[in-house]
Copies of this chain bind each other. A is one copy, B any other.
Amino acid sequence: MLSKKTKYGLKALTYLAGQMDNKPVQIAEIAQHENISQKFLESILLSLRKTGFLGSKKGKGGGYYLIKNPKEILMTDVMRILEGPIAMVPCVSLNFYEKCSDCPDEKTCSVHALMLKVRDSALVVYRNNTLADLVIDRS
C-alpha cells in the first residue's frame, strides 16, 4: 500500500510543477488545494527540500518551489525518498539491500526470484516517468 506520505508528496510536487511561474507557494495553499493536513505536509516538503528537490523561502511571500525541471525529476528518485525501497523485499533492493534473516540462500528462494521480477517491472515504470509526465496526465 502506498503511504499517505508518498501520495501527498507526489500531489504537492505535481501542484508545484503545474504552476505557471516558479514563484514560492505557501504550504497552506498546497495543503488546502490538495486536501492534505498542513502539519503533515510540512514535514513532507521539508524532506523533499533536504533531498534536493525543493527550495524554500521564508517570510512574507515565501514558500516552496521546484529546484529542477520537472522533466528531470525521475519517479525512481521521488519514490525512494518518499516511500523508501521500490522492492517489496529487502533482499532484492538495489538501494536498500539487506539479507533476509530467515532465508538461508537467496539463489534458491522462490520469493526472491518472484520479487525480483516485480521489482524490475516497477523500475521500468518509475524510470520512464518524470514529474512532467504526471502534470501532463492531468489535462
Q: Which residues of A contact B (CB under 8 A)?
A: 1-2, 7, 10-11, 14, 34-36, 75, 85, 88-89, 102-104, 108-111, 113-115, 117-118, 121-122, 124-126, 129, 134-135, 137-138
For the A-B complex with A1-B88, A35-B104 known, give 8 more contacts whose Cβ atoms are closer than 8 Å. A2-B89, A2-B111, A10-B114, A110-B138, A113-B137, A114-B129, A117-B125, A121-B124
B-side contacts of A11, CB under 8 Å: 109-111
User: Given A1-B88, A7-B89, do A118 and B110 touch, yes or no (CB 8 Å)?
Assistant: no
Residue of B nearest to A90 (CB): B1
Q: Write out the residue numbers on chain B whose beta carbons fall within 8 Å of the beta carbon of A104.
A: 35
Q: Which residue of B lies closest to A11 (CB)?
A: B111
Copies per complex of this chain:
2
For the complex formed, measure the closest distance between the CB of A18 and the CB atoms of chain B, giving whole angstroms. 9
Q: Most chain-B CB neighbours within 10 Å: which of A36, A109, A114?
A: A114
Q: Do residues A138 and B75 form an inter-chain contact, with CB atoms below 8 A?
A: no
CB distance from A76 to the nearest CB of B (A): 12
